[in-house]
Every structure is written in C-alpha cells, then in structure tokens.
Amino acid sequence: MSHEHFKGKYEVELKYRVKNKDAFLRILHSLDYEVMVENNCETDWYFDTSDHQLKQQNKTISIREMEPSGIKLWIVKGPEPDRCEATNITNAANARSMLENMGYQIRLITQKVRSIYFVGQFHLTLDHLANIGDFAEFAIMTDDESKLAEYRTELEALAAQFELTAQDLEHQSYLTMFEQA
C-alpha cells in the first residue's frame, strides 16, 4: 500500500453512481490493482461555525475514523472543487474536541462502507451509503495544479473501462446527499 497516493493539496475526483456493484468488481478484478482496504466502515464528523461560515465559503472540515484499518484523518476541502488536504492524526476524539473548543460545531455525522483500490497512479473507492446507494470515486492527488485537466481526462478514460459514462456522474458531495436524505 502506498500513502504516496494521498499526497498533494489538489484532488481530481470523479464520482459515479454505480448501478451494478458486482459488474464493477468483475471489471476491477480483470485489471492490475492493489487493495488498500476493503469494506472499511468510515465515520465522518463534519464541523462548521454556528452561522455556517464554512458552508457559505464552500469549505468543509471533517475528522474521519476508519475501522477496522484504524486510520484517522483530519480533512479540509475547498473552496475550489479540486482543493483537498488531509493529514493522519492519532487521536480523533481529541481532534474533535479541539475543533469544538475553537467554536466549531458538529454539522453532521455520516457513515459509509468503503473499499480503496490502487490502479496505477490512481485510487478508486467503492462506497456504499445506506439508503442512498453505491458510488465509485476515481481520483488522484497532486501538488501540480497544471496537471488537473490532464488527470481529469485520464480518470474519465479509466471510468469508461468500468462502463461508466457522463450520465453516471454524481455531482453532489456525500455531505449534501446525507443532508438531503
């Protein structure tokens, strides 16, 4: 497993609604890939100010715990669509407490079941959100802003190998989907 896949301040990510998870997995198994984690339960605590300043600025702050892998992350996204930074932390409960001590409030707590795979330089996640559906995210992180368009084209080509098209793209964030559910 390579943590190099998750380094960079930009993330090019295309999210697709998956209609047939078994077909998706059959195609994945026909490729050369590595498994990072399978069927991990991820819990995300999203924070904002009481007057929703982060939401208004198109930013999110979250603390993520992944089990059984034990990975814990502090994640900041936005304001640009491709802006995403994450760092490993050792104590998620303390990080949540620190945010609350700074005046942030829990906006929402979400859970999903996630598997993460590496296909070449890209990482693919296969997510199940209870009562919402199955999704695949094709992504890469980079510090090189000039490569974002090139990576987007390469990710679209990879998604096409899974028979996913522009009609399958999901433009809403998981946070928005959970808030609307």
Alpha helices by DSSP H, 69-147: 92-101
51-104 residue pLDDT tens: 999 999 999 999 999 999 999 999 999 998 888 889 999 999 999 999 999 999
Answer whether 151's CB lies under 8 Å from 142's CB.
yes
CA distance linking residue 77 with residue 66, whole number of Å: 18
Residue 120 confidence (pLDDT): 94
Residue 125 confidence (pLDDT): 96
DSSP 169: B
β-partners of residue 15 are: 137
Phi and psi of 131, rounded to 5°?
65, 10
Instruction: Tell me the CA distances in angstroms from 92 to 4, 70, 76, one per residue in order.
Output: 22, 10, 15
Reference 67, options 42, 35, 88, 92; nearest CA is 42
Instruction: Tell me the CA distances in angstroms from 80 to 12, 29, 59, 105, 150, one per residue in order.
Output: 11, 34, 8, 23, 17
Q: Could you count the other beta carbons within 10 Å of the beta carbon of residue 65? A: 21
Question: How confident is the prediction for the chain on average, in pLDDT?
Answer: 93
Residue 1 confidence (pLDDT): 41
User: Among this protein's residues, is 46 annotated catalytic?
Assistant: yes
CA distance linking residue 181 with residue 73, whole number of Å: 25
Residue 3 confidence (pLDDT): 53
pLDDT at 6 over 90: no
**Where do the structural domains in the chain lie, given as residue ranges?**
3-180
10-50 residue pLDDT tens: 889 999 999 999 999 999 999 999 999 999 999 999 999 99
CA distance linking residue 13 with residue 87, whole number of Å: 18
Sorting pLDDT into bands at 50, 70 and 90, what band is 4? Answer: low
90-125 residue pLDDT tens: 999 999 999 999 999 999 999 999 999 999 999 999
* 58 three-class SS: coil
pLDDT at 181 over 90: no
Q: What's the topology of domain 3-180?
A: Hypothetical Protein Pfu-838710-001 (2.40.320)
Which of 10, 16, 33, 46 does the annotation list as catalytic? 46
